Amino acid sequence: MGRLRGKVAIVTGGGGGIGGATSARFAREGAKVAVLDRNLQAAEAVAARIREAGGEALALACDITDRKSVDAAVAEVGAKLGPIDVLVNNAGWDVFLPFTKTQPEQWDKLIAINLVGALHMHHAVLPSMVERRGGRIVNIASDAARVGSSGEAVYAACKGGLVAFSKTLAREHSRHGITVNVVCPGPTDTALFADYKQGAGNPEKLEEAFRRSIPLGRIGQPDDLPGAILFFASDDAAFVTGQVLSVSGG
């Protein structure tokens, strides 16, 4: 406990499965958590649970594809919680179709959320981290970027891009004391995974196939992720940057 005491952390997609679990864990570790999500109700529910447990949290509506929305949210976090120490780029979205059945409009939306959205967040938060000579950025990619995943070609390309972007930023900002690392979830039991299973047509069969392919023998739960994200966000990882860690059951 207390590994983020007094730190200000932003979690995008904080109203979702992995983002909600991460926000709660960060708050238990003493962080003031800004829970950003395009779904304000979901963000508010997460922030309310944190406050009920005695933590500090601020819920904000933020669409990461819209630079004005990002700038407004980042400014409000700075004004209400203080300078940002930790950024977790976790918001994401997917469509589950063989590539030849996807349409360019879907590519645009996938790229806007999974890649450009993260760029907006970095661009908005980095200047103050540079000025303060420190910060921790954790980007949530996917094992789809590492090993591929049928029905997720464009999503995987975005997440692969996010990995390359993170490694490059890690180099650019090492001299400012800013670390940039990546966590890659495998199949994890959230709304996004439920949509994936539906899109694939036979949810039970798909889940069983995934389960059999995972060495540790089960689908991940949202609470499986925050430990790795916390590691990169904390001073335990002060000498770790540009790294990619899969949290996927093997």
Closer residue to ligand NAD (CB): 92 or 135: 92
CB of 160 to ligand NAD, least distance (A): 12
206 interacts with ligand NAD by CB under 6 A: no
Closer residue to ligand NAD (CB): 29 or 143: 143
CB of 201 to ligand NAD, least distance (A): 17
Binders of ligand NAD among residues 22 to 51 (CB under 6 A) are 37-39, 42
CB of 162 to ligand NAD, least distance (A): 9
Closer residue to ligand NAD (CB): 84 or 239: 84
Which of 24, 73, 77, 117 binds ligand NAD (CB under 6 A)? It is 117
**CA atoms of 202 and 164, how far apart (whole Å):** 33
Q: What is the CA radius of gyration of the chain?
A: 17
Cα–Cα distances in angstroms (integers) from residue 180 to residues 29, 118, 119, 162, in the given order: 20, 12, 13, 11
16 interacts with ligand NAD by CB under 6 A: yes
**CA atoms of 84 and 77, how far apart (whole Å):** 8
135 interacts with ligand NAD by CB under 6 A: no
Contact indicator for 5, 30 with CB cutoff of 8 Å? yes
Polymer length of the chain: 250
63 interacts with ligand NAD by CB under 6 A: yes
Query: Which amino acid is residue 78, in one-letter code?
Result: G
92 interacts with ligand NAD by CB under 6 A: yes
Mention every residue, 6+ apart, whose C-beta is less than 8 A from residue 166: 137, 139, 141, 180, 181, 182, 242, 244
Closer residue to ligand NAD (CB): 37 or 44: 37
- 233: which 2 tokens? 């966000």
Does the annotation count 196 as an active-site position? no
Q: 205 burial class (0-12, 13-18, 19+ CB within 10 angstroms)?
A: exposed
At 169, phi and psi to the nearest 5? Answer: -65, -35
| Site of interaction with ligand NAD (CB under 6 A) | 12-13, 15-19, 37-39, 42, 62-65, 90-93, 113, 117, 140, 142, 185, 187-188, 190-193
Q: Catalytic site residues? A: 155
